[in-house]
Amino acid sequence: MTATTPAIIDIIEPPKPLSRIVYEFARRNPTVIFGSSLLLGMVIIAIFAPLFAPGDPLALAPARRLRPPQEAYWFGTDMFGRDVYTRTIYGARISLIVGISVSALSTIVGLFIGLLSGYVRIIDAIIMRIMDGLMAIPGILLAIAMMALTKASVENVIIAITIPEIPRVVRLVRGVVLQIREQPYIEAAQSIGTRFHRVLLKHILPNVMAPIIVQATYICAAAVLIEAGLSFLGAGTPPNIPSWGNIMAEGRTFFQIAFWIILFPGLFLSVTVLAINLLGDGLRDALDPRLARRM
Amino acid sequence: MTQAQTMERPGQTVGGVEKVLEIEDLKTHFFTRDGVVRAVDGVSYHVLKGETLGVVGESGCGKSVTALSVLRLIAKPGRIVQGKIKISGRNLLELSEEEMRSIRGNDISMIFQEPMTSLNPVLTLGRQIAETIMLHQGLSKKDAWDKSVEMLKLVRIPEAERRVHEYPFQMSGGMRQRVMIAMALSCNPKVLLADEPTTALDVTIQAQILHLMLELKEKLGTAIVLITHDLGVVAETCQRIVVMYAGKKVEEATADELFERPLHPYTVGLMKSIPRLDRAATTEHPGRLMEIPGMVPSLKNMPPGCAFAPRCSFATERCRREVPAFEMKASGHYSACFNSDKVAEIYHG
Amino acid sequence: MYAYLIRRILATIPVMAVVAVFVFSLLFLSPGDPAAIIAGDLATADDIARIRERLGLNEPFLVQFGKWTFNLMQGDLGVSIFSNLPVSKLMLQRLEPTLMLTTTTLIIAICAAVPMGVIAAWKAGTIIDRGVMLFAVLGFSFPSFVLGYLLIYGFAIKLEVLPVQGYTSISKGFGPFLNNIILPSMTLGMVQAALIARMTRTSVLEVLAEDYIRTAHSKGLATSKVLIGHALKNAAVPIVTIIGISFALLIGGAIITESVFAIPGLGRLTVDAILRRDYPIIQGVILVFSGAYVLVNLAVDIIYTFLDPRIRY
């Protein structure tokens, strides 16, 4: 007995300090760090927009229309003389609000429906047929249809983008539930009378969390893109709100003479989406190495 | 740079028989993030024309890596760091990749352990065999397919004309291994490397496949390197046997000599772990299988002395300190053990 | 194989049914009075009543749905509120540019992405691989309307080698057609190419670890033959699948791309319909595009049988 004790002590490593853990995680997952830093920067810009751009994004100044980028107007001015820099900074708010709301909403609703579908055989068939149908409609078209029937508002944009994203979450969650249900330990737990909600909390949810977090990140990126696309087409955020899509839509007519109106919001949009995608890729690699190998 | 030149430079001979494959002091190491794994660490062996050589050892002893090194199919992070591999006198390690490709499947073929996964699932059997034939023999597509049917018949696949158009998933494991043999032999190779060819098969099928290989060896004059962990398999089929342990050769002798008078404790351990009906009842050998205690050492941190010492009941202080040389102990019988005499004595009991 | 095909074909029916029901029900599910919203802020009570009449909103739901479905079965997609013309006729006029744009895009994307993915998988871990992966993540993040304007700025405005906007029918000659379609196709194809390249890399990488690839090498095949003849064929199923699934993205992107490049296709029709809240047109476009998506994925199911004999038998 005494002889084996030292061996056991050898196996247990001393606890690492938190800074060390964070450092090692960062070293192994540079894309997570890069993506989240970029995203964090964008969030700070959105929250403290008035500090970064003290002007009024809506202030008209016909006298200084279509000025190219210069010291006073970093990103130039648009056809009404509004400062493109100020509008772009404020645009970050809409994009991030829509992106985060859509990913949160679609994840919560999708998680609920997915669990239901994975657990209750009778309604599974019906739910999955509906989901297959929904997935057959290109997301942006479905959102366009919904926007055509409702008043333009940020809330409606969020709902219109959320609905087409739900089936993706449902499929993912249902897949994981079905897979886990087959595991011997779940059967064992159920056969000895473990309550359903205990199985759900202890086994199913922890297994669903990793893929769902990754999926939520990708949905956030998609939502930011779709919002901009909808606004660009005139079916999104009301035109009086400076969203990146709206700014670009307004700049379309003038893009041959005033390229900056489209360029800067476009770059901000691309960088934001890139940041979220990088974060998603990194999280996927970090949370689920098996998935990382497949994707 | 193919047939003609090879003919001019024949390999060395032993007793008038040509050495078709010679491996000299081969070292294949894997440079992993956690350190260097010396999977093959100075192995030499040769095969004579038409001979069957058995290479025996536990999984991880480097016997498969040696075979893959012969074909130069070691993937990163692995690398052949030293040695010579000669086929009819030509050193394969000096060839360009293109020259090497004309050797693979042509002069040297290989069959693998897993017949279920070693054939491409989406290509017909005919396509997979004909591909090799067209590549190395320059036959037309039609002739190559005819030859494929012929090869399938040779390995006794019934209804070969129909089967040639089928896919691997339509065949049993034994049938697939026959197809692998047909493919490997389709270009009349000088050497066939058979890496655990029967391990994944049912026992009844194993014997059929082994007999098929031996029969075709006689017919085609191919030398076989039979790599296996199963001493029972080599006992029936091989003329000479090489025993490997932890990336090194530990014993080499003719099959008769080795089974009669093993000189390395590891070989003795392997022999005692084979179930044998004829010994079950005797008092000398109780009717119980022996196992070799302990595990194969990690190839990353080898003990300083003999690699087998930690598991060896003969081991002395010297064994743990010094690596025993691989030397001739009797005529044609080599072993890497300080205590060969004792081993022989005790084995004969 | 026939059983498989029949099963796949039958499976499209419930999908299309759900699409139809959903698109139709939207009118009723949406909060507020859709007729009032469609009519716009300046509409009179009379206008709203007329639109309600036109959309058949006065009748019970099931009666309306019955009539609508009956008409749909006969290819009648309803009548545009704005122009009073049949939606099917309006759509047919706009079909060619969209069809040409999506086809060209797919061809370009596949031809660029599959070799990239294969090479990245073959050279996994090298700088080439990293480059392809960087392209993939960038391509996926650059929205088509940003990329489109960047391309226009570079090739049309600065270099003046390609036209800024517009569309020329292929019936007017292949050269002029290609001249106009190349920038929109590159714009639209970027996301597609990124997705396909990434899936190809993953799929081929996985296949390269298989035993039969080692067998192929041991036969003396050249690397290119192993990659194309043995690896790619086995890796094809997920690649074809992603092409099918991403067709939805292609359609969505086409609407935006047409709008950027002023291409008079179905996307433009949709955008005009949005501005006029011409719901029957939007409905028709959704039905047709969803139908196209379902058909493309049915085609994918059929292609599987050529790629994988295990499905065929």
- Enumerate the residues of chain C whose CB falls inside 8 A of the CB of residue A133: 14-19, 21-22
**The pLDDT of residue A80:** 75
C151: closest chain A residue by CA: A263
Contact A148 C271 (CB under 8 A): no
Out of A7-11, A239-243, C260-264, C284-288, least confident range: A7-11
How does A52-63 read in b/e, with b if 16+ C-beta sit within 10 Å? Answer: bbebebeeeeee
**Separation between Cα atoms, residue A40 and residue A47, nearest integer Å:** 10
ipTM for the whole complex: 0.88
**Separation between Cα atoms, residue B264 and residue B248, nearest integer Å:** 13
**The pLDDT of residue C216:** 95
Out of A4-18, B15-29, C26-40, least confident range: A4-18
| DSSP one-letter code for B277 | G
Partner C contacted by A101 (CB < 8 A): no
Average pLDDT over residues B13-34: 86
pLDDT band at A294 (very low <50, low <70, confident <90, very high): very low
**Separation between Cα atoms, residue C188 and residue C172, nearest integer Å:** 23
How does A99-133 read in b/e, with b if 16+ C-beta sit within 10 Å? Answer: bbbbbebbbebbbebbbbbbbeeeebeebbebbbb
Average pLDDT over residues B41-56: 92
Partner B contacted by C313 (CB < 8 A): yes
- Enumerate the residues of chain B whose CB falls inside 8 A of the CB of residue C222: 101
Sheet with B248-254, strands from edge to edge, namely B108-111, B191-195, B223-228, B52-56, B240-245, B248-254, B333-335, B327-330
Question: CA–CA distance from A119 to each of A113, A122, A123, A125 (Å)?
Answer: 10, 9, 9, 11
CA A103 to chain centre: 5
C236: closest chain B residue by CA: B122
Q: Where are the alpha helices (DSSP H) in B194-262?
A: 203-220, 231-237, 255-260
Average pLDDT over residues B41-62: 90
C-alpha dihedral over C37, C38, C41, C45, to 10 degrees?
-90
> What are the boundaries of each domain within chain A?
101-259
**Separation between Cα atoms, residue C41 and residue A49, nearest integer Å:** 32
**What percentage of residues in chain C have a pLDDT greater than 70?**
99
**The pLDDT of residue A285:** 79
Average pLDDT over residues B56-80: 90
For chain C, what percentages of helix, strand and coil (3-state, to nearest 5) are there? 80, 0, 20
More confident residue, B193 or C59: B193
Cβ contact B297:B245 at 8 Å: no
Assess whether pLDDT exceeds 60 at residue A10. Answer: no
pLDDT digits (tens, 9 = 90+) for C115-138: 999 999 999 888 999 999 999 989
What's the residue count for chain A? 295
| DSSP one-letter code for A13 | P
**The pLDDT of residue B1:** 39
For residue B251 the two structure tokens come to 């014993």
pLDDT digits (tens, 9 = 90+) for B318-342: 888 888 989 888 888 999 989 888 8
pLDDT band at A290 (very low <50, low <70, confident <90, very high): low
**Separation between Cα atoms, residue C23 and residue C282, nearest integer Å:** 9
pLDDT band at A288 (very low <50, low <70, confident <90, very high): low
Size of interface A-C (CB pairs under 8 A): 153
Q: Which amino acid is at C55?
A: L
Assess whether pLDDT exceeds 70 at residue B6. Answer: no
Assess whether pLDDT exceeds 50 at residue C108. Answer: yes
Cβ contact B163:B152 at 8 Å: yes
pTM, whole model, 2 decimals?
0.86
Contact B132 C215 (CB under 8 A): no
**The pLDDT of residue C2:** 82
More confident residue, B58 or A217: A217
**The pLDDT of residue B3:** 42
Average pLDDT over residues C42-58: 78
pLDDT band at A289 (very low <50, low <70, confident <90, very high): low
For residue A118 the two structure tokens come to 């994975």
Average pLDDT, chain A: 82
Assess whether pLDDT exceeds 80 at residue A60. Answer: no
pLDDT band at B275 (very low <50, low <70, confident <90, very high): low
**Separation between Cα atoms, residue A125 and residue A87, nearest integer Å:** 48
Assess whether pLDDT exceeds 50 at residue C9. Answer: yes
Partner A contacted by C295 (CB < 8 A): no
**The pLDDT of residue B164:** 94
Assess whether pLDDT exceeds 70 at residue A128. Answer: yes
Assess whether pLDDT exceeds 90 at residue C230. Answer: yes
Average pLDDT over residues B276-286: 50
More confident residue, A11 or B264: B264
**What percentage of residues in chain B have a pLDDT greater than 90?**
49
For residue B54 the two structure tokens come to 């058995």
For residue B110 the two structure tokens come to 């290989």
Assess whether pLDDT exceeds 70 at residue B279. Answer: no
**The pLDDT of residue B278:** 53
For residue B70 the two structure tokens come to 């012969």
What chains are in contact with C, requiring at least 3 Cβ pairs below 8 Å?
A, B
Count Cα atoms within 13 angstroms, Cβ side, for C43.
Answer: 19
| DSSP one-letter code for A68 | P
Three-state SS at A126: helix
Our CA-based measurement puts residue A293 at a distance from the nearest CA of chain C, in whole angstroms, of: 7
**The pLDDT of residue A7:** 36
pLDDT digits (tens, 9 = 90+) for C185-227: 999 999 999 999 999 999 999 999 999 999 999 999 999 999 9
Assess whether pLDDT exceeds 70 at residue C254. Answer: yes
Assess whether pLDDT exceeds 90 at residue A271. Answer: yes
Partner A contacted by C149 (CB < 8 A): yes
pLDDT band at B100 (very low <50, low <70, confident <90, very high): very high
C-alpha dihedral over A15, A17, A19, A20, to 10 degrees?
-50
**The pLDDT of residue A121:** 81
What chains are in contact with B, requiring at least 3 Cβ pairs below 8 Å?
C
> At residue B245, what are phi and psi to the nearest 5 degrees?
-145, 130
> Is chain C in touch with chain B: ≥3 Cβ pairs within 8 A?
yes
Dihedral sign of CA atoms A22, A27, A33, A35 in order: negative
Partner C contacted by B120 (CB < 8 A): yes
**The pLDDT of residue B135:** 93
Nearest to C8 by CA among C298, C292, C241, C245: C298
Assess whether pLDDT exceeds 80 at residue C19. Answer: yes
Three-state SS at B231: helix
CA B338 to chain centre: 26
Assess whether pLDDT exceeds 90 at residue C140. Answer: no
Assess whether pLDDT exceeds 80 at residue C177. Answer: yes
pLDDT band at C303 (very low <50, low <70, confident <90, very high): very high
Contact C234 B122 (CB under 8 A): yes
Of C222, C307, C313, the CB nearest to B122: C307
Contact A137 C286 (CB under 8 A): yes
Q: Which string of DSSP letters, residue by residue, matches C52-114?
A: HHHHTTTS-HHHHHHHHHHHHHTT---B-TTT-SBHHHHHHHHHHHHHHHHHHHHHHHHHHHH
Question: CA–CA distance from A166 to each of A127, C77, C244 (Å)?
Answer: 12, 28, 20
pLDDT digits (tens, 9 = 90+) for C60-75: 778 888 888 888 888 8
**The pLDDT of residue A293:** 42
**The pLDDT of residue A1:** 35
**The pLDDT of residue A14:** 54
**The pLDDT of residue A3:** 36
Our CA-based measurement puts residue C265 at a distance from the nearest CA of chain A, in whole angstroms, of: 14
The CATH architecture assigned to A101-259 reads: Orthogonal Bundle (1.10)
> At residue A81, what are phi and psi to the nearest 5 degrees?
80, 10
Assess whether pLDDT exceeds 50 at residue B22. Answer: yes
**The pLDDT of residue B316:** 87
